[in-house]
Chain A
């Protein structure tokens, strides 16, 4: 069935469920209010539920009459990519706290970029993909560790000799950033031919982009803005 016909029907169900829900809303009197007069907790949800129901019934009726909604011709490979993206994002959210920011973000980026470049998902891609993911993850962890080691060392040094400059964000985040950028650039330069074309073109592009983006996000959000990105498996 065409999506334009599915959506209004889905909304009929959603709004019916919503109406049922709104009648179960706990109608507690407004705190300490003896006077009453408050329309109450259910008034809005019920009203909105019925408007939503009316609109979706009307749209269902209308789409039913409208001719010429042929079955969409969507490439199955793109459908697979959409499903992969959704499933992987869900996996990302569920495993975020266990795997930690670095590993889970890296896996998400590498996998998506890899298959997006292939423009499809087939079984025969899996071996190269898995090996690429494994190697890339190791490089990622190494990369992270270098940055982490530098900022920790700088910080402890700054504290030991009481150098406020070394304790500041600009240095603890800036120096590792520059060092990692240089390493990244050297690697990029060394492997430039393999990245541009050849057998390992795609895994290399995916790996480099994933590692660079993950580390960049980590430095921006964790080291500059102190967002507590979960460490997970990488406990150091």
Chain B
């Protein structure tokens, strides 16, 4: 052995030294060297992604650790959610949660909100029902009457059955006596192209999608209890004003930030502080105004957000049940 043995021993010693030297200074949260990952369960460039990224930019300013966004899309929003649930509850992995989490959980695709703790609420993006300007229906009343006269003849498209537009369109259809032919499309872009091309009659959109095609689309009704915050869309009537007082539809997508249950309280508190500061920052507030994103009734953090989620679940349950979506 001789020389070779000495060489091996020396190497082992050196390794041990570096282990010791590099291994100290652990145990504080956040470890500044670790990255905090915010999992967005949709692909980059989508509605959830564009709403989350600006707040992350602000969060970076208040965080010691590096923060990055990771898009893990697939199977509604359940793939990204399941990924967060499979990683250790150490506060380094956050989830862009919201109404999509609620509907994915109810469909039994993930343990979702049952295994999540709230960190901070963000905002609502209300949905708008729109048709091509060249279509004969000029108001929601016209449309519904026509649909009831010819059940199944008018197609109502959504951006995918698993997501919030899917649930909203199903809920609407149930409320109108199943008069529409509800058809899912492959995401918002596909739906828009099909409505613009006249292949699908009615579509359910977010505000920014309507804005991008104002010259071709005629917005009929906003599925929210108040008017749009955008000047261009202020005139769109709410469901109440359109003459459907008793209609209860989850008419928008809500976004928030959550972590896995069991995350240390100290970490959660610090994260909540960061999200709160980022949410209230000038930059994010003006971003919300510009995009017409509406704040929830109050700013919720930690257990307050859990409570708000319970409210949402309560509102979704009857609809999901009626639609045959609920899996228990």
Contact = CB atoms under 8 A, between A and B. Distances in A.
A and B touch in the complex (CB under 8 A): yes
Interface of A: 29-35, 37, 131, 134-135, 138-139, 141-142, 145-146, 148-149, 152, 155-156, 159, 226, 228, 235-236
Interface string B172-207: 011000100110100000000000000000000000
Nearest to B14: A142
Given A149-B18, A226-B35, A236-B23, A31 B8 contact: no
Contacts of B68: 226
Given A33-B182, A135-B4, 19 more contacts: A29-B324, A31-B166, A31-B325, A32-B182, A32-B323, A32-B324, A34-B178, A35-B152, A35-B181, A131-B4, A134-B8, A135-B8, A139-B11, A141-B15, A145-B15, A149-B22, A226-B35, A228-B35, A236-B23
Contacts of A139: 11
Nearest to B21: A149
B11 A37 contact: no
Interface of B: 4, 7-8, 11-12, 14-15, 18-19, 21-23, 25, 32-33, 35, 37, 64, 66, 68, 152, 161, 166, 169-170, 173-174, 178, 181-182, 184, 323-325
Q: Is the interface of A mostly helix, strand, loop or mixed?
A: helix
B323 A31 contact: yes
A138 B18 contact: no
A146 B18 CA distance: 7
A139 to B, nearest CB: 7
Contact of B8 (A138, A156, A235): A138
B25 A156 contact: yes
A145 B8 contact: no
Contacts of A32: 161, 166, 169-170, 173-174, 182, 323-325
A35 B178 contact: yes
Contacts of A235: 23
Given A37-B181, A159-B32, A226-B35, A31 B324 contact: yes
A152 B19 contact: no
A199 to B, nearest CB: 13
Contacts of A156: 25, 32
Contacts of A35: 152, 178, 181-182
Most buried by B among A34, A148, A155, A226: A34
A89 to B, nearest CB: 24
Contacts of B7: 135
A230 B178 CA distance: 51
A58 B84 CA distance: 47
A111 to B, nearest CB: 19
Contacts of A34: 173, 178
16 contacts: A32-B169, A32-B173, A32-B325, A35-B182, A37-B181, A134-B8, A135-B11, A138-B11, A139-B11, A142-B15, A145-B18, A148-B18, A155-B33, A235-B23, A236-B22, A236-B23
Contacts of B323: 31-32
Nearest to A156: B25
Contact of B15 (A30, A138, A152): A138
A30 B15 CA distance: 59
A152 B23 CA distance: 10
Contacts of A146: 18
Contacts of A138: 8, 11-12, 15
A144 to B, nearest CB: 9
A33 B166 CA distance: 11
Nearest to A33: B182
Nearest to A153: B22
A155 B14 CA distance: 22
Nearest to B17: A145
